[in-house]
């Protein structure tokens, strides 16, 4: 208790220094669970407040962060023809990926949390915890070479327009992480779409590609690696690449179907996630582990996950039957090997703020995301992936789904009550007649 008492002594005055008090309160409640509960005796107290709930979601993403960091380096070296075996050059790939992902993580959180702190101080209330999850999700859904200024603009847009304009955490109608991504997609499409944005550290110069590993940070790592006798990034850190493929399986499927995908990638590569794509959306097995963790801790709704799978499977099967394009003929089960379906299912569609809240509504909400997302993925030649747009679209309709579910429940119960009253009245009249 000595540390807690000390922290209370240095707590800034809320009226004199609102911003400093907001910062203090945010870090204090992050470290300690609240010791106040409702006093009417109806609540059960435990250590799970909103911050700790959000931290559980962040923990579920950590395998995606680890694999995503390594895969950045693996894709970079594979593109230039070095260390093409997945585990070769392990330390170089891992640290190359960390150098790429850390700035993205830092900028996302500094910008997002900075805006959260500012609005909390202006409103005179505690820091809202919602951005803990958004700040962890945004780096995972971005390309590894996204310019930091574009990332900062997208985060600021998502937090200010998507959340604070609606009242803050718990009031937003759209998923904040997806709103940041959709901002980049529509404002700066060349930085988040196409076949050349998913491989880090390769720049097109005239007719050639330059693979770069320049920078003081690589020099520091070289000094460390050489002291252990390991391979280094190398002096100069540049290589000329005649050509490389950064095409994702979805891009290949949209142009030539499943056979076209297999000319570049194996099903094993796609399942494990050793393919180009957004930083954390590729490792299917690790994402499933995260999804199971969220379900077991009762943080995410399994109904949304299952119904989204059903919607995607049913739609993909119908497309297999129709089969008018090569992409439509891709076997329905291989649709799950490509793209970001599992990531969208586990971490995006289950957002409790923007998803449907009624039990029946969750089934409808998830099914429609699976159906609409698959339609966009296969039938839209300009955008061979559909989960981002499908989830944002259904975010808008989630309140309407809940409204009609509740209205149906009210109507059904009203009919049940009316029927019960009618039977009771009839029984009373029958008894009265028998007495007379």
* C-alpha–C-alpha distance, residues 252 and 197, integer Å: 15
Confidence of residue 98 (pLDDT cuts 50, 70, 90): very high
The residue to which tokens 């497309």 are assigned:
319
* C-alpha–C-alpha distance, residues 137 and 159, integer Å: 13
Mean of the per-residue pLDDT values of the chain: 83
The fraction of the chain above a pLDDT of 90, given in percent, is: 50
Torsion sign, CA atoms 192, 194, 200, 206: negative
Least Cα distance to 394 among 376, 406, 411 occurs for 376
Residue 12 scores a pLDDT above 90: no
Q: Where are the domains of the chain?
A: 10-34+47-192, 252-426
CB atoms within 10 A of CB 296: 10
Q: Check residues 239 and 340 and name the one with the higher pLDDT.
A: 340
- Count of helix runs (H) and strand runs (E) in the chain: 16, 3
Residue 313 scores a pLDDT above 90: yes
Residue 50 scores a pLDDT above 70: no
- The DSSP result for 388-434, as a single string, is HHHHHHHHHHHHHHHHHHHHHHHHHHHHHHHHHHHHHHHHHHHHHHH
Q: Structure tokens of 86? A: 């997945």
Instruction: Determine the pLDDT at residue 414.
Output: 84
Helix (H) or strand (E) holding 28: helix 18-31
* C-alpha–C-alpha distance, residues 115 and 384, integer Å: 33
Instruction: Determine the pLDDT at residue 15.
Output: 62
Q: Please, which residues have CB within 8 angstroms of residue 358's CB and are 6 or more apart in sequence?
A: 401, 402, 405, 406
**Is residue 340 a contact partner of residue 277, using CB atoms and an 8 Å limit?**
yes
Q: Beta partners for 239? A: 211
Q: Please, which residues have CB within 8 angstroms of residue 239's CB and are 6 or more apart in sequence?
A: 80, 210, 211
The fraction of the chain above a pLDDT of 70, given in percent, is: 77
Q: Could you tell me where the beta strands, DSSP code E, fall in 213-342?
A: 238-241
Query: Cα–Cα distances in Å, from 388 out to 26, 69, 331?
Result: 31, 22, 22
Among the residue ranges 113-122, 125-134, 222-231, the one predicted with the least confidence is: 125-134
Instruction: Determine the pLDDT at residue 215.
Output: 72
Instruction: Determine the pLDDT at residue 422.
Output: 66
Q: Structure tokens of 271? A: 């399942």
Least Cα distance to 391 among 177, 163, 185 occurs for 177
Least Cα distance to 348 among 169, 154, 179, 191 occurs for 179
The residue to which tokens 């491989």 are assigned:
199
Residue 273 scores a pLDDT above 60: yes
pTM, to two decimals:
0.84
Residue 43 scores a pLDDT above 70: no
Instruction: Determine the pLDDT at residue 399.
Output: 94
Average pLDDT over residues 271-278: 92
pLDDT tens digits, residue range 365-404? 999 999 999 999 999 877 778 899 999 999 999 999 999 9
Residue 89 scores a pLDDT above 70: yes
Residue 128 scores a pLDDT above 90: no
Residue 236 scores a pLDDT above 50: no
Q: Check residues 426 and 237 and name the one with the higher pLDDT.
A: 426
Residue 269 scores a pLDDT above 50: yes
* C-alpha–C-alpha distance, residues 216 and 327, integer Å: 45
Q: Structure tokens of 220? A: 């520091």
Instruction: Determine the pLDDT at residue 383.
Output: 76
* C-alpha–C-alpha distance, residues 143 and 192, integer Å: 6
Average pLDDT over residues 95-104: 94
Q: Structure tokens of 402? A: 């809940």
Q: Check residues 238 and 2 and name the one with the higher pLDDT.
A: 2
Least Cα distance to 92 among 201, 217, 222 occurs for 222
Q: Beta partners for 306? A: none
Least Cα distance to 304 among 374, 389, 361, 375 occurs for 361
Q: Check residues 26 and 181 and name the one with the higher pLDDT.
A: 181
Q: Please, which residues have CB within 8 angstroms of residue 317's CB and are 6 or more apart in sequence?
A: 332
Confidence of residue 214 (pLDDT cuts 50, 70, 90): low
Strands 202-205 and 238-241: unpaired
Average pLDDT over residues 53-67: 90
**Which stretches within 163-230 are classed as H helix?**
176-187, 216-227
């Amino acid at each position: 208790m000595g540390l807690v008492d000390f922290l209370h002594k240095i707590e800034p005055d809320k009226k004199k220094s609102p911003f400093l008090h907001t910062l203090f309160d945010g870090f204090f409640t992050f470290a300690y669970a609240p010791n106040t509960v409702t006093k009417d005796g109806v609540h059960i107290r435990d250590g799970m407040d909103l911050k700790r709930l959000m931290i559980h979601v962040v923990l579920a993403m950590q395998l995606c962060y680890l694999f995503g960091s390594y895969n950045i380096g693996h894709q970079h070296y594979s593109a230039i023809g070095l260390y093409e075996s997945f585990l070769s050059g392990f330390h170089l790939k891992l640290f190359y990926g960390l150098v790429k992902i850390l700035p993205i993580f830092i900028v996302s959180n500094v910008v997002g949390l900075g805006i959260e702190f500012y609005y909390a101080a202006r409103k005179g209330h505690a820091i809202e915890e919602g951005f803990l999850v958004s700040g962890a999700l945004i780096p995972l859904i971005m390309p590894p070479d996204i310019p930091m200024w574009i990332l900062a603009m997208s985060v600021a847009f998502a937090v200010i327009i998507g959340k604070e304009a609606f009242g803050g955490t718990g009031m937003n109608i759209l998923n904040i992480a997806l709103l940041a991504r959709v901002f980049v997609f529509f404002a700066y499409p060349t930085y988040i779409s196409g076949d050349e944005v998913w491989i880090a550290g390769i720049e097109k110069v005239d007719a050639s590609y330059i693979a770069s590993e320049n920078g003081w940070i690589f020099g520091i790592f070289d000094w460390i690696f050489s002291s252990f006798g390991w391979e280094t990034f190398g002096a100069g850190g540049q290589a000329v690449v005649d050509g490389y493929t950064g095409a994702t399986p979805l891009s290949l499927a949209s142009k030539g179907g499943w056979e076209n995908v297999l000319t570049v990638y194996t099903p094993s590569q796609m399942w494990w996630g050793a393919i180009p794509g957004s930083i954390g959306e590729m490792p299917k097995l690790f994402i499933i582990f995260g999804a199971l963790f969220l379900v077991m801790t009762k943080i995410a709704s399994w109904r949304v996950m299952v119904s989204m799978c059903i919607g995607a499977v049913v739609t993909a099967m119908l497309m297999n039957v129709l089969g008018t394009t090569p992409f439509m003929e891709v076997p329905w089960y291989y649709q799950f090997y490509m793209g970001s379906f599992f990531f969208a299912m586990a971490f995006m569609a289950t957002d409790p703020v923007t998803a449907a809240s009624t039990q029946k509504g969750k089934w409808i909400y998830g099914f429609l995301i699976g159906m609409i997302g698959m339609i966009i993925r296969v039938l839209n030649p300009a955008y061979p992936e559909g989960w981002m747009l499908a989830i944002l679209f259904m975010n808008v309709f989630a309140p309407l789904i809940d409204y009609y579910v509740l209205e149906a429940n009210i109507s059904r119960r009203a009919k049940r009550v009316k029927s019960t009253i009618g039977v009771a009245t009839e029984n009373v009249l029958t008894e009265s007649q028998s007495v007379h």
